[in-house]
Amino acid sequence: MKGDRERKRTFMLITIPILALFICFNTLPLIKGFIYSFTNFKGYGSYDWVGARNYVDLFTDGRVGRSYLFTFKYAIVGTILTNVISLVIALGLNSKIKGKSVLRGIYFIPNVLGGLVIGYIFSFFFTYILPVVGQSLGIEALSSSMLSSTSQAWIAIVIVGCWQAIAMNTIIYISGLQTVPEDIYEAGAIDGVTGWRKFKDLTFPLIIPFFGINMVLSMKNFLMVFDQVMALTKGGPAQSTESISYLIYNNGMSGGQFGFQSANAFLFFVTIVVISVVQMTITNKKEEQL
């Protein structure tokens, strides 16, 4: 067809500069980070090649190990809690209720607010409000600040993380529930399917794609946690809540571990890719089975 060459040329002229921009600020720094991971660069001055030393050290470094443990504990518990609670809320918001659109609007509010400021607000709650409630109710576990306890601080971060993440997942579940045709329930009602079985056998199989999106999205976001840690604990007490992102930021930017933390960052990148791919394969398989 006439003008095919013009069309191709225009597409090329659009794509090349945009691709160049992407390579310059995404691919290039990624490669640079990978190269730095084989050095003992401190972030300034001269440096030497150390081969795969950094990668070997990653697996013996206690602090790195603890940051992975915390991040995974946080991400797994957070993802499960978020998905269960947001699915329950979405089922509620999708049923015949009064003031549906107002309620939906309210339940989405946490998602639009910034993680850092919300973290600061909750920090006050955990430090000054919750212990007083715990004391007056005589609950030993709550009577001192969760944030200063090495065994409880991570729970506080999970609560804040979920508080925000639930809003997002609820909206996605609602759009999933709206794709379920009404006559399926009518057919189910004739067969006497109600309650939990109605959900398990009718609703849930139909919203599995949305469940998949939510699992991948929330897992990825939880694994990259930074703002909440920064606002609530700064990694403490005793490094018990140091997330991988926070450790890379803290030690890489100002701790003189540019090279070592680059190796950590690369391992983190591979981890995220592997988890996302595994999650997507599982949900795709589940979808095919149905």
Partner 1 sequence: MMSKGNKQTRAVNWPVTILLIAGCLTIFFPLYMAFIIAMKQPSEMTNNIAGALSFPQTWSLANFREAMQVTDFWNSLGNSLLITVVTVVISIILHGMAGYAIGRSMKQSKIYNIIYMFIVSGMFVPFAILMMPLVKQTAQMGIANRFGVILLYVVFYMPLNVMLYRGYLSNIPIAIEEAARVDGASTWKIYWTIIFPMMKPMHATVAVLTAMSTWNDVMTPLVIMSGTGKNTLPLAQLNFQTQFGTNYNLAFASYILALIPILLFYIVCQKQIINGVANGAVK
Binding to partner 1 (CB under 8 A) within 119-178 occurs at: 120-122, 124-125, 128-129, 132-133, 163, 168, 171-172, 174-176
Beta bridge partners of 39: 49
* Cα gap 278→58, rounded to integer Å: 23
If binding is defined by CB under 8 A, does position 103 make contact with partner 1?
A: yes
Beta bridge partners of 40: none
Output the smallest distance, CB 81 to partner 1, in A: 13
Looking at residues 214 to 273 of the shown chain, list those that interact with partner 1 (rule: CB under 8 A): 217, 220, 224, 226-227, 230-231, 244-245, 248-249, 252-253, 258, 261-262, 265-266, 268-269, 272-273
Are 222 and 77 contacting, i.e. CB atoms less than 8 angstroms apart?
no
Under rule CB under 8 A, how many of the chain's residues touch partner 1? 95
Tell me the residue type at 210: F
Output the smallest distance, CB 158 to partner 1, in A: 15
If binding is defined by CB under 8 A, does position 182 make contact with partner 1?
A: yes
Residue window 23-52: x/- pattern of binding to partner 1, with contact defined by CB under 8 A: -xxxxxxx-xx--x------x---------
Output the smallest distance, CB 192 to partner 1, in A: 13
> Which of residues 11 and 197 has its CB atom nearest to partner 1 in the complex?
11
If binding is defined by CB under 8 A, does position 11 make contact with partner 1?
A: yes
Output the smallest distance, CB 278 to partner 1, in A: 13
CA distances from 61 to 43, 195, 283 (A): 20, 50, 34
* Cα gap 134→234, rounded to integer Å: 24
> Which of residues 63 and 151 has its CB atom nearest to partner 1 in the complex?
63
Output the smallest distance, CB 145 to partner 1, in A: 13
Q: In the structure encoding, which two tokens stand for residue 110, read together?
A: 């946490």
CA distances from 14 to 7, 9, 71 (A): 11, 9, 40
> Which of residues 80 and 159 has its CB atom nearest to partner 1 in the complex?
159
* Cα gap 129→109, rounded to integer Å: 22
If binding is defined by CB under 8 A, does position 211 make contact with partner 1?
A: no
If binding is defined by CB under 8 A, does position 108 make contact with partner 1?
A: yes
Q: Which residues contact 218 (CB under 8 A, 6 or more apart)?
A: 78, 79, 82, 83, 165, 168, 169
Q: Which residues contact 37 (CB under 8 A, 6 or more apart)?
A: 54, 55, 259, 262, 263, 265, 266
Place of tokens 């999708």: 94
Q: Which of 52, 56, 106, 278 binds partner 1 (CB under 8 A)?
A: 106
> Which of residues 153 and 263 has its CB atom nearest to partner 1 in the complex?
263
Are 156 and 118 contacting, i.e. CB atoms less than 8 angstroms apart?
no
Beta bridge partners of 49: 39
- Interacting stretch for partner 1, rule CB under 8 A, among 60-68, 76-84, 96-104, 282-290? 96-104
Output the smallest distance, CB 204 to partner 1, in A: 17
If binding is defined by CB under 8 A, does position 210 make contact with partner 1?
A: yes
